Structure 1
């Protein structure tokens, strides 16, 4: 019986090794299933899980190496995270197939190979959204650069008659001659700033290509241009000799006005911040005066360095 005890000891150790190998395979399979189940999570989380998985595999390898050394195996060849599990002893070569590995295979491979289809689809969708945002950021400044004051149709007008709005205490309703076959109706919030008698038969600068808008039941077809601050407003005065219908021009901005400003393009909103009076009360756009060719410039009465709207 004692003659067989070394053999029995070897068989016992071999059985222990087989159990360890089976345990390692089970652990690898569990981690693989866990990784697949969580593949739909974001890439950062997936990378973190893979790192933890490799760490667990490395710890299991070290445990197996220690057991094999203790039972007298001279050479144990263990795989890296990318290879299958194999135990090679001094005298035997196991016929057990290697355990599957879920680590990334060595060697070059396509960028998204091995990733679940849902993950690849999400990644492509995210990349497409980023590209679209970058394209919008690149085109937006170009569109803004194309907008300037020449797109505004500013003309000289003469208020024929003005009266208070029947349904609004702060609004005037004016009939304004702008050199057309019929006067335009204009609604202005000037009651608290300009007396009614000063609105009659008055020359003004009119913005004529705004989209008509209904104000308390009355459709306004233009806007009277004024120098404006928090508590003061002054109507811009055209130069002496200007007549209704003459266009206001700006040196350095020779373009033609839009037929009607498109509210979606926000031309007025982009131009208005650069409209102001200078130190001499002259109305300007980026330093270029509101000018009537051959007759002079448009001015506020007393308001210098003030916004215009």
Structure 2
């Protein structure tokens, strides 16, 4: 009954952390066999025994629902990122930074954008010329060793970060084509792109990036939402279950 009362007091907190401890004062009410169930919010502790299955199941269901709601919000935020198909029209080594390339990238604007990327260690220069890429276009421009970089090339990397591949737009994509997370049918209902100031102030990239990975088929995704253009899915050439940044 004590655990039940605790549940009634705390259940309004949404996603919760459940923990059963044999050292707790409540351990006398619990069976010897215990289980720890861990969820998002560490500010709530709830002790449940195996005999309280209905309440435990309710809490698990509630927490999973809360996780799904969070991912919906993260997807909405992710779709305010201005991601576009780009084509590298020129590339050279940065004269002041050994690890950087400087690329001129056609993203469907009047002039190509200048973008710096730390890919020297991973991709030969000749493999970048005329390559179609994914560009994150609404970041604040950054001065990188004397060169103003206006955007970011998105890439997949394995956990060791020894292997890095640029994300590849689907066949038939053209520079400037919009990229988003979800299905092709969702294109007409996408939110407006955030301004660079909003991206920085709301830390949208920091919110979204930890959830970006390739799947078992090298398809880029945000959780279960595929990264797509009107032509199909964005992918990595060979990296499976890889981080995207």
Global fold match (TM > 0.5)? yes
**Structure 2 CA distance for aligned equivalents of residues 231 and 186 of structure 1:** 22
Match of 1:268 in 2: 205
Q: Is the 8 A contact 2:143 2:149 kept in 1?
A: yes
Which of 139, 153, 157 does residue 228 from structure 1 map onto? 157
Q: Does 2:176 align with 1:245?
A: yes
Deviation digits for residues 158-193 of structure 1 (CA, Å, limit 9, x no counterpart)? 000100000000000000000000000000000000
Deviation digits for residues 132-183 of structure 1 (CA, Å, limit 9, x no counterpart)? xxxxxxxxx99x9476211100000000010000000000000000000000
Q: Is the 8 A contact 2:138 2:199 kept in 1?
A: no
Root-mean-square deviation (CA), in Å?
1.9
Q: Does 2:226 align with 1:289?
A: yes
- SS for the counterpart of 2:133 is strand
Equivalent residues, number: 167
Deviation digits for residues 273-297 of structure 1 (CA, Å, limit 9, x no counterpart)? 111101000000121111111x111
- Divergent runs of 4+, >4 A: 144-147
Higher relative CO (CA 8 A, sep ≥ 6), structure 1 or 2?
2
TM-score after normalising by structure 2:
0.65
**Structure 2 CA distance for aligned equivalents of residues 259 and 272 of structure 1:** 18
**Structure 2 CA distance for aligned equivalents of residues 187 and 171 of structure 1:** 6
**Structure 1 CA distance for aligned equivalents of residues 154 and 193 of structure 2:** 16
Structure 1 gaps of 5+ residues are 1-140
Match of 2:88 in 1: 159
Normalized per residue, the structure richer in helix is 1
Deviates more, 1:243-252 or 1:216-225: 243-252
Deviation digits for residues 200-249 of structure 1 (CA, Å, limit 9, x no counterpart)? 01100000000101111111001001001221100011111000000002
Correspondence 1:199-218 to 2 at 5 A: 199-218=128-147
**Structure 2 CA distance for aligned equivalents of residues 195 and 210 of structure 1:** 26
Structure 2 gaps of 5+ residues are 1-68
Deviation digits for residues 69-122 of structure 1 (CA, Å, limit 9, x no counterpart)? xxxxxxxxxxxxxxxxxxxxxxxxxxxxxxxxxxxxxxxxxxxxxxxxxxxxxx
**Structure 1 CA distance for aligned equivalents of residues 182 and 214 of structure 2:** 16
Deviates more, 1:227-236 or 1:183-192: 227-236
Q: Is the 8 A contact 2:156 2:166 kept in 1?
A: yes
Query: Which of the two has higher C-alpha Rg?
Result: 1
**Structure 1 CA distance for aligned equivalents of residues 192 and 240 of structure 2:** 28
Q: Is the 8 A contact 2:87 2:107 kept in 1?
A: yes
